[in-house]
Structure 1
Amino acid sequence: MEDLLKFAPRPTGMGEMFQVLRDGQPRTRADLAAITGQARSTIAARLDLLVSTGLIGPAGEASSTGGRPPATFAFRPSAKVVLAVEVGVTNVHLAVTDLSSTILAEAELPLAVADGPDVVMSKVAETGRKLMATADRSPEELASVGVGLPGPVEYATGRPINPPAMPSWDAVDIPQVLERLLKVPVLVDKDVNLMALGEHRTNWRTVRDMLFVNVATSIGSGIISDGELRRGAQGAAGDIGHIAVPTAKDVLCWCGNAGCLEAVASGNAIAAWLRARGLIANDTSDVVALIRSGDVTTSRAVRQAGREIGSVLAACVSMLNPSLIVVGGVISDTSEHLIAGIRELVYQSSLPLATEHLRIVTSRNWSRVGVIGASAMAVEHVLSPRAIDALGP
């Protein structure tokens, strides 16, 4: 950490000094003075203030080179908690986490997004309070809330924008609705962005350039570039589900266009293809059941869906040059045929330079990466340099 900081601009404010301590490594006042270039008196005053907030605490003594061993200080992730919420079409996953996004308590609710934002957010707030109690944390310890929604979101305002699966949510001020119930700041983003963030923070923190692809009822992706989540100008970055597939020009998509990837390779699209061939497949869950039963026709359909997804990802690889593609979602979790089809087309269609070191893997824990990403988003808001500076006099 110190080696990297030698080449970075030196922290000047309390918020920037706090970022030095966020890795959890204990440091002395002298360490912080050497890293930041600030006077020992300034370091001492800022440490006193951070200790008073509970965010920083004593961490024992450093080795002595003679005389009394100096005290060390480290970040305390347990100082506060955040509520992480992943809203799905038919269920809601909630978790209370500490400031390192470690899950302390969680619950899954059979709650339909079609019930509308007021009903869903009221139940989220109610369940969030219960989870706080389960984690033995008081309401005053809740610092913020992170919410993922299954549709486009204007990140700056937290408002869903024309979300196809949740029309009654369009332009609703979700942060305002939930802030009124829980009295803390609320951050909102589309679910696949938070899946990408959660996957990155949990399993691939050292990877700088990564794509997360979610294949379920719909298809979407989140982009990590230079180690940061990229949302695009209007928050629409990563919407690969509505990139046209040349081989599917006559297949209509719900968005009004023809040939969209989602119309030919999503869980619902696979189900429709299977129904046309006489199989009972009303939705994605039926596709999963057929995969688990060993149905050969379904396995072939999933492999072909992987190829269609791979043809689109090949273009993304050429454009973004990621070193890693992580595939998540209920279908990838159930069948190796999907990722096999993706790998086949990506490696076949992309330039060798772009795929020389490219890995394509399945998510290690896709059912949780959404809430972990929601937690990480909420934590970043609470622990940003600006938020820490606001704690000062």
Structure 2
Amino acid sequence: MRRADSSSAYAASGAGDLLQLLRDERPRTRAELAKLTGLARSTVGARVDALLATGLLAPSGEAASTGGRPPARFAFNPSARVVIGADIGATHGRLALTDLSGRPIAEIGQPLDITTGPGPVLDWVVSASQQLLGEAGREPRELIGVGIGLPGPVDHSSGRPMRPPIMPGWDGYDVPEHVRHTFDVPVLVDNDVNIMALGEHATAHPDVEHLLFVKVATGIGAGIISSGRLHRGAVGAAGDLGHVAALHAPQVLCSCGNTGCLEAVASGPAISSSLKDLGIATASNRDIVDLVRGGNIPAAHAVREAGRMIGEVLATCVSLLNPEVIVIGGSLAQAGESLIAGVREVVYRRSLPLATGSLQIVAATTGEQAGVIGAATMVVQQVLTADRVDSVIARQSAS
């Protein structure tokens, strides 16, 4: 998004650029827009009219009159179109129908086994999307895109999973093409932790330029926001913390074939294994969380120790990336302060004071909605760029 304090930057902008300014949902008059952008009143009027015709802009009352007829105000209309955001985990699926600001309108979720393969899982995504559209009274033509998060490495440019360790049958599968058999819209796919980072950033930390989102659940991964943008790396593998060697950890065999990986010693299944050795049975991450919240001391100690091991890896990340905020999310983050206390204990001790002086390590605020909000945000960020909006207006004008 271009900054409003550079009038020369707006002088040659089109309607798409004007929309970027208005996406803060603050109502403005044509005169205010002309003053803010440096554009002629007639140019602003033409571009406002073009945006009104798309429905992306809508009237928003009147400004105070200084004599004569009060000037009309206009604001971004996030309800003009809808987006599907899908968060697919190892054992769950969650979908949300959102508006163009990423706010959920309707949601659905259920247990889902990623190992059943792409066909059954994506068929559920499609059928659940149709259900949400129907429940919300929205037509398929109002859908502008589908965003999907998957629990493994993804080539974001093609939407194909890349050798995902816990997703048999998914390697190289054309996820967007499968969904486009039903919905002829852009379908964007990314790693589930990346979309959670986008969701938390957009919802809770929009002004933070450098953020690290860490998901601790069945697996462990990180989403990296650098200079306000998601960093995916060369092949979409950036942030794969789960397979970084954990310092001082036992040499437990990991699903990737190596030993001593962080995921093998600090994830939900690893904590369950350590509790089993103590005679405490847990069948899921939720069981671990319930034990900690219920005051079970061995469970709280196991979760805190996992936090310490995660903190040792994150201390390196702090020195390398220098984030302003580290957000701890995922199902195990719901175990109260035990996990985060362990992370903080090690990060603040091992990292340099310069890097940690203003560093915040906090729990995620978006909870189970982080993934679906982030998936929708990923779509909106691509579909509502200035160039794409101008293309839509040009097609409407030509038709």
Do Structure 1 and Structure 2 share a fold, with TM-score over 0.5? yes
2:136 alignment counterpart: 135
Q: CA RMSD in A?
A: 1.8
Q: In the alignment, residue 299 of structure 2 is paired with which amino acid?
A: T
- The 8 Å contact of residues 265 and 306 in structure 1, kept in 2 or not, is answered as yes
- The 8 Å contact of residues 333 and 363 in structure 2, kept in 1 or not, is answered as yes
Shift of 1:289: 4.2
1:59-70 correspondence runs (5 A)? 59-70=60-71
Q: In the alignment, residue 279 of structure 2 is paired with which amino acid?
A: G
- The 8 Å contact of residues 87 and 192 in structure 2, kept in 1 or not, is answered as yes
Q: Aligned to 2:281, what secondary structure does the other structure show?
A: coil
2:103 alignment counterpart: 102
Shift of 1:278: 3.2
Shift of 1:320: 1.2
Shift of 1:190: 0.7
1:315 alignment counterpart: 316
1:81-230 correspondence runs (5 A)? 81-230=82-231
- The 8 Å contact of residues 271 and 286 in structure 1, kept in 2 or not, is answered as no
2:55 alignment counterpart: 54
Name the CA distance, whole Å, in 2 between partners of 1:115 and 1:386: 39
Q: In the alignment, residue 102 of structure 2 is paired with which amino acid?
A: S
Shift of 1:175: 0.7
Name the CA distance, whole Å, in 1 between partners of 2:179 and 2:386: 24
2:397 alignment counterpart: none
Q: Aligned to 1:392, what secondary structure does the other structure show?
A: helix
Name the CA distance, whole Å, in 2 between partners of 1:9 and 1:172: 46
- The 8 Å contact of residues 199 and 366 in structure 2, kept in 1 or not, is answered as no
Q: Aligned to 2:16, what secondary structure does the other structure show?
A: helix
2:346 alignment counterpart: 345
1:5 alignment counterpart: 4
1:223-242 correspondence runs (5 A)? 223-242=224-243
Runs of 4+ aligned structure 1 residues displaced above 4 Å come to none
Name the CA distance, whole Å, in 1 between partners of 2:86 and 2:21: 28
> How many percent of aligned residue pairs carry the same amino acid?
52
Name the CA distance, whole Å, in 1 between partners of 2:182 and 2:116: 18
Q: Aligned to 2:64, what secondary structure does the other structure show?
A: coil
2:40 alignment counterpart: 39
Shift of 1:347: 0.6
1:71 alignment counterpart: 72
The range that moved more, 75-84 or 39-48, is: 39-48
**1:166-202 CA-partner distances (Å, limit 9, x unpaired):** 1211111111110111221111111111111111111
Name the CA distance, whole Å, in 2 between partners of 1:282 and 1:9: 61
Q: Aligned to 1:168, what secondary structure does the other structure show?
A: coil
2:17 alignment counterpart: 16
1:259 alignment counterpart: 260
Name the CA distance, whole Å, in 2 between partners of 1:165 and 1:199: 25
Number of equivalent positions: 392
Q: Which runs of 5+ in 1 are unaligned?
A: none
- Taking structure 2 as the reference length, what is the TM-score of the superposition? 0.93
Shift of 1:358: 1.0
- The 8 Å contact of residues 122 and 181 in structure 1, kept in 2 or not, is answered as no
**1:204-263 CA-partner distances (Å, limit 9, x unpaired):** 112221111111111011111222221122111111111112312622221122221111
Q: In the alignment, residue 189 of structure 1 is paired with which amino acid?
A: D
2:376 alignment counterpart: 375
Q: In the alignment, residue 324 of structure 2 is paired with which amino acid?
A: S
- The answer to whether the aligner puts 1:384 opposite 2:385 as a matched pair is yes
Name the CA distance, whole Å, in 1 between partners of 2:301 and 2:144: 48
The range that moved more, 67-76 or 149-158, is: 67-76
The range that moved more, 328-337 or 166-175, is: 328-337
Shift of 1:32: 2.2
Q: In the alignment, residue 27 of structure 1 is paired with which amino acid?
A: R
Name the CA distance, whole Å, in 2 between partners of 1:148 and 1:108: 14
Q: Which runs of 5+ in 2 are unaligned?
A: 395-399
